[in-house]
Structure 1
């Protein structure tokens, strides 16, 4: 089903242990979301046998997330890009800056009024692009765009896989109300076992 909206853009800082496995901080709101473009790059391999393709493997390699937002506050700019906030509250960007990866969550409204929720487990952002224009006869809003590279997370899930994205659609019969209501309280951790309970 088509989506008609985008909101509730959050991020969670990542702490890594000695083995590189992630622990996520409590999610905080990043900004008011305007656009989100997600593209994925796959690693592909084809095994040929008996004059034909015998096996084809396609695996997630990386992705790109481009976010159009209304504004990036000082704290979020520091967390996402590695910029420094000086004693006067000024955000200072240096050529040596390099932000640490964060988890990014958001939701998209569907045409039936329900939402599709997302968590991207590991996104490393670059410097936000800024578009400025002088005021003319009409009003034009200039808003920042920030682009990040999506990576798989280092920490394996219960199946030993390394997820890069979690998504759920509100109202699906196997989705509990608690999954939706807790989506922004913590970064979602995959849970396997028996089939999901219904409510």
Structure 2
């Protein structure tokens, strides 16, 4: 069995370092972002990739199936977003200590990335290239009881393929890196310095 196709005894067991980067260009020929910034301390992130499947039938059986990409839904949960981060994600205004939300606010297009620890001590790294956290948010408030219950900041967004190549994301799993994967090894040393791009084959 090829070394990069090996079966390993490890599982995902963590989530940390959630970063976002504002997308400054997303065209048929260009994709650029601002420098990534870290959000609050990560609690969890959930990714749901949605596809549509259609089929044709003949002779009383399925003849062929066709699948198409719909969207990627991403939810994240952090301990606390600061007002600047809330304004950036929501498209709101933060000025002179006031965070103002308006019915006409439009969420900015962003990239989002994080890393996830595995039980073997290595990490999975990911960047999703284009999306907007326009799925709203919940603010929960609860009286302090004998056992105080803390609240966190959650956001929901929809992600999609970027225009120049339809790529939705890039991932590196440190567990399966081989000696010749020098570019990927270099990238994970400073994964959040920029939105990562694989080198051309």
TM range (shorter): 0.7 to 0.9
Q: How far 1:31 sits from its partner (Å)? A: 1.6
The count of aligned residue pairs is 187
Q: Which runs of 4+ in 1 moved over 4 A?
A: 17-21
Q: Which has the higher helix share?
A: 2
Specify the alignment match of 2:7 in structure 1: none
SS in 2 for 1:56: strand
Please give the residue correspondences for 1:5-154 in structure 2 after superposition, counting only pairs within 5 Å. Answer: 5-16=14-25, 21-49=30-58, 51-86=60-95, 88-126=96-134, 127-154=136-163
Tell me the CA shift for residue 47 of structure 1. 3.4
- Say which SS state the counterpart of residue 176 (structure 2) adopts: coil
| Residue 18 of structure 1: how far off its partner (Å) | 6.5
Partner of 1:197: none
Closer, same or farther: CA 49–188 of 1 in aligned 2, 3 Å: farther
| Whole-angstrom CA distance in 2 between matches of 1:80 and 1:179 | 26
SS state of the match for residue 41, structure 1?
Answer: strand
Q: Which moved more, 1:106-115 or 1:147-156?
A: 147-156
Deviation at 1:17, TM superposition (A): 6.0
**Distance (Å, rounded) in 1 between the aligned partners of 2:200 and 2:139:** 42
Determine if the alignment matches structure 1 residue 178 to structure 2 residue 186. Answer: yes
Contact kept, 8 Å, 2:26 with 2:162, in 1: the verdict is: no
Shift of 1:50: 5.1
Which deviates more, 43-52 or 111-120? 43-52
Distance in 2, Cα, partners of 1:107 & 1:57? 33
State the alpha-carbon separation in 1 of the partners of residues 128 and 26 from structure 2: 20
Residues 39 and 18 (structure 1 numbering): CA distance in 2 closer, same or farther, change over 3 Å?
closer
* Counterpart-to-counterpart distance in 1, 2:195 and 2:54: 32
Distance 1:62 1:29 in 2: 24
Q: Which residue pairs with 1:190 in the alignment?
A: 198
Two-structure CA RMSD over aligned residues (Å): 1.9
Distance 1:138 1:77 in 2: 28
TM-score (norm 2): 0.85
Alignment match of 1:163 (pick from 167, 190, 194): 167
